Amino acid sequence: MVLTLYGYPISTCSKRVAVVLHEKQVPFKFVTIDLATGEQKAPVHLEKHPFGETPYIVDDDGFVLYESRAIARYIEEKYAGQGTTLIPRDLKAKGLFEQAVSIETANFDPYASKAAQEKISKPAMTGLAPDEAYFESQIKELAKNLDVYDKILSKQKYLAGDEITLADLFHLPYAEALPYTGTKVIEERPNVARWLSDLRARPSWQAVKDGVSGTA
């Protein structure tokens, strides 16, 4: 039995889990749930993920878990001794890690995800034109926050210090999507650009960026 990841190959949240599985060198099966047809709302999946979303995992012993960031933490903890260490052990370093994790969900994801959804997913899924004013309002908020990221990243290599953590990897799926919206919020900020280019170059991201597939 191996861990099975249920998701959609090009979904940002599925990539968020897959990149961590690669960093931790954990082999996994991948089962596609077709978000385009709404398969995630089928009873067999709702039983595993009551919010009717993806991804979720079924671990080798049957343990079920959803929410991409929670799965990533579980994988890091279960396989603490292998692959890249992605959560610091020391009390204060861990505090700064949790601060960085919280910055991602509060200051990056809400704006980056809405901008990418408006400009990329909405036209692709519905054929409707993006609402440019709404898109710009999200980019404006994101830009303000990335100014602070740029200051933080001028003093340290990664968001929680000089070592990579889950907090950095959590940004990758939407950071990768942003340039396709036409915005330059990342490349205009040298330290943010350097940080993301470093993350993007990792073999783990190269393995999943164009679509997740299983390794077991």
* Binding residues vs its own copies (CB under 8 A): 50-51, 63, 65-71, 73-74, 77-78, 91-92, 94-96, 98-99, 101-103, 105-107, 110, 145, 148, 151-152
Q: Which is nearer to its own copies, 70 or 124 (CB)?
A: 70
Minimum distance from residue 113 beta carbon to its own copies (Å): 10
Q: What does residue 106 show for φ and ψ, rounded to 5 degrees?
A: -90, -40
Angle at 210 between CA 182 and CA 134, to 5 degrees: 30
Minimum distance from residue 104 beta carbon to its own copies (Å): 10
Exposure b/e, 135-160, CB count within 10 A at least 16 = b: beebbebbbebbeebbebbeeeebbb
Minimum distance from residue 3 beta carbon to its own copies (Å): 12
CA distance 202 to 93: 23
CA distance 38 to 104: 28
* Helix/strand/coil percent split, the chain, to 5: 60, 10, 35
Q: What does residue 29 show for φ and ψ, rounded to 5 degrees?
A: -90, 150
Minimum distance from residue 208 beta carbon to its own copies (Å): 20
Residue 142 CA to its chain's centroid (Å): 16
Minimum distance from residue 177 beta carbon to its own copies (Å): 18
